[in-house]
Structure 1
């Protein structure tokens, strides 16, 4: 066993532990009634997410990689996300909280034993610990989903965190991004998921991009100008949804200038990126402002392209993983940071807060890259390809560093607002 393999095993164990610590925090913060309750028809009960992450870990690492006997073969269908809609999951014979905790603990013990013995090379599923990395990211993604459920729950606040840093530098206006091709996606990132692959050259015409996400203060100007009442700014589908859903402001904003954040009413900070807006709202604001949403390729070029070398970096600031000074990630703070709080995370072109704070809607429908191959299963990405889903990039304050990078792609329906979503604007040069 090489030193490099030992380091990889240690990294996997650390990342599995970090994810489980976060899952525990999010599920132990509430009582059993809150764990089994459905806080929104858009979300699963927290206890379902808890057992689901264990079930996925069992399927891929205990049974597939480890070749071990099933722990609970009888519950596979209950925790198959494609078998039951979220709104229906409270009616299933789910594991109760104590059973779910014992189940995920048993699975984790077996996984750590598998990790000690599994080769981390050879077959594609285990090469550079890919399957373990996939499960780390899966649990962290569900942790962010559970954090969104916490935002939707009613009752006494149970989560707390220190505020994010104050602005360190003024950030405003836009940057010019020269036209030309760049390398989009990746063929080398060890834990990159199938929709990020393969790397390919993309030509992007010159454009201008906001240096920072659109703020609450700027979005309030759109509201004050009657943006929600003027169909000129909305796509036909967006205007229909605005009317049907009765949209008048971002989700969780109150008429008296506050927003509800994890059970607490706080004044709306005009310098924070706006959050909890759907794609239709983002596109309407951009039209009102005489702008547009960036394409996915434009977003990634601004985030990764280094004009000095012409190469694509892993992150806006370089190739090093995110540190605390780079980005607002991992629910270290329970809110977006004000614009200008992370100058160390800016791209070479001077674009700020591309990673963390808020997921950023782009104009592009979700699709596979040229040469896409589903791996290790179609249901991770391929079944979502098409015009029904819009892409989001960059991660939010609730995204873990293991589940975001310059190539990472998220997607959702254009009506979704319960996610930690914001945006920035672009315009043609």
Structure 2
């Protein structure tokens, strides 16, 4: 890292203030709408160390604006509470100490009502900054955009974290009523082939659109000829792996994955239960009978990799995925569909890939590492992505909980290989 000499978030265009304010209101409002079905008693629950309580997500995203936008750029700004910085700083060492992550669920106070007041305080101050200091907008608007993209990430985490909390509750309550997609026969799997050669991947600054620092710089990669499955793997196909003894056969597993499966006793994806010879799963709509036609979800990298080996294939690299998906339209089963659950693949209308955006994040075989020439953002914001480039794997494509305006072909999500409470699944390559 280069500290203060590395790049800051850059807006390569004149800021459209009205559009930025409108998006700020929309994104901030969406967080509150997503939290609304969750009663206060559940908003404090932390079901595991990797998850956070709902009200913590609501507060942390406000702390982000307070710390990186308001405190340095709004003269005379008064923080809502002098101790909130300790409670709601996640991992930014340069911004001060943090309350232990695994103890966030012990914080009965501040109450949900106080968090709501905190959010209103921050929202009002941000809008006041826009209205009263037009001379600062060139510096502030890029930071606002980072904050909004950051909040989009936490909207997805809010939903996956409350799903885990509700699933581990003995009553398994639903987050909300959800409609099911019509049943259909699983679509035959087809392969789409791509030529080898040198390709360019990564975000291009000529696009003049937002991207995180880890998506830059655009650079060349050499690929051998490859093929991708034209849809995601289904629950039915993963069930075939289970019934063939896949979780009991070390041939398919990386060593660390095999050790994990044995230690944790995994015999199916997260949330699957076999009750009276019938498979069920937990959804944000509560428990359901397992749909064989839906994309398999909540698999770790180790499980996805083992399934791919068993199927005589492999996981794609992130470069292969981006080359194949770079020109595809950005639509699919994303947050705006309100399904909040993966849906069966649509019928194939051409030879194009299906389900590339939405439904489930797709594991790739690529370790999360810096692109050649990577420069993290400056100062404390440089901690956003760069310091996690170790022991993680890249996922692509977004999920049914990802907002449409947050995803793009160059987006690099990342999680450790054992993680499976996110909406993660499989696309095969060969």
The bucket for the TM-score relative to the shorter chain is: 0.7 to 0.9
Cα distance, 1:161–1:137 mapped onto 2, change above 3 Å: farther
Structure 1 counterpart of 2:296, from 261, 274, 285: 274
CA distance in 2, matches of 1:162, 1:178: 41
Structure 1 unaligned segments of length 5 or more: list them.
305-312
Q: Counterpart in 2 of 1:223?
A: 242
Aligned partners of 2:174 and 2:283 also within 8 Å: no
Q: Counterpart in 2 of 1:194?
A: 213
Pair 1:264-2:273 in alignment = no
Q: SS of the residue aligned with 1:426?
A: coil
Alignment deviations for residues 383-415 of structure 1 (CA, whole Å, 9 cap, x no partner): 1012x1111111000011222110011101100
Alignment deviations for residues 254-304 of structure 1 (CA, whole Å, 9 cap, x no partner): 112111112522222222110000000000001111111111111111111
CA distance in 1, matches of 2:135, 2:362: 34
Query: How big is the shift at 1:105?
Result: 0.6
Q: Aligned ranges for residues 410-425 of structure 1 at < 5 Å?
A: 410-425=413-428
Structure 2 unaligned segments of length 5 or more: list them.
1-12, 92-97
Aligned partners of 1:58 and 1:70 also within 8 Å: no
CA distance in 2, matches of 1:165, 1:57: 42
Cα distance, 1:120–1:283 mapped onto 2, change above 3 Å: farther
Q: Aligned ranges for residues 60-79 of structure 1 at < 5 Å?
A: 60-72=68-80, 73-79=82-88
CA distance in 2, matches of 1:43, 1:37: 9
Structure 2 counterpart of 1:35, from 27, 38, 43: 43
Q: Aligned ranges for residues 33-112 of structure 1 at < 5 Å?
A: 33-72=41-80, 73-82=82-91, 83-92=98-107, 94-112=109-127
Pair 1:338-2:344 in alignment = yes
Aligned partners of 1:171 and 1:340 also within 8 Å: no
CA distance in 1, matches of 2:116, 2:348: 37
CA distance in 2, matches of 1:20, 1:204: 41
CA distance in 2, matches of 1:13, 1:166: 41
Which deviates the most, 354-363 or 184-193? 184-193
CA distance in 1, matches of 2:184, 2:65: 40
Cα distance, 1:329–1:341 mapped onto 2, change above 3 Å: farther
Query: How big is the shift at 1:18?
Result: 2.4
Query: How big is the shift at 1:144?
Result: 0.5
Q: Aligned ranges for residues 238-317 of structure 1 at < 5 Å?
A: 238-255=257-274, 256-262=278-284, 264-304=286-326, 313=327, 316-317=328-329
Q: Counterpart in 2 of 1:130?
A: 142
**More RCO (CA 8 Å, sep 6+):** 2
Q: Counterpart in 2 of 1:310?
A: none
Query: How big is the shift at 1:113?
Result: 2.1
Cα distance, 1:28–1:200 mapped onto 2, change above 3 Å: same
Aligned partners of 1:327 and 1:353 also within 8 Å: yes
Cα distance, 1:279–1:56 mapped onto 2, change above 3 Å: same
Query: How big is the shift at 1:118?
Result: 5.3
Structure 2 counterpart of 1:355, from 354, 357, 363: 357
Superposition TM-score, scaled by structure 2 size: 0.86
CA distance in 1, matches of 2:424, 2:315: 13
CA RMSD of aligned residues (A): 2.4
Structure 2 counterpart of 1:113, from 115, 120, 128: 128
Aligned partners of 2:316 and 2:364 also within 8 Å: yes
Structure 1 counterpart of 2:386, from 363, 379, 382: 382
Superposition TM-score, scaled by structure 1 size: 0.86
Which deviates the most, 208-217 or 165-174? 165-174
Q: Counterpart in 1 of 2:200?
A: 183
Aligned partners of 1:342 and 1:353 also within 8 Å: no
Query: How big is the shift at 1:249?
Result: 0.5
Q: SS of the residue aligned with 2:72?
A: helix
Aligned partners of 2:316 and 2:428 also within 8 Å: yes
CA distance in 2, matches of 1:263, 1:169: 22
CA distance in 1, matches of 2:201, 2:320: 10
Q: SS of the residue aligned with 1:76?
A: helix
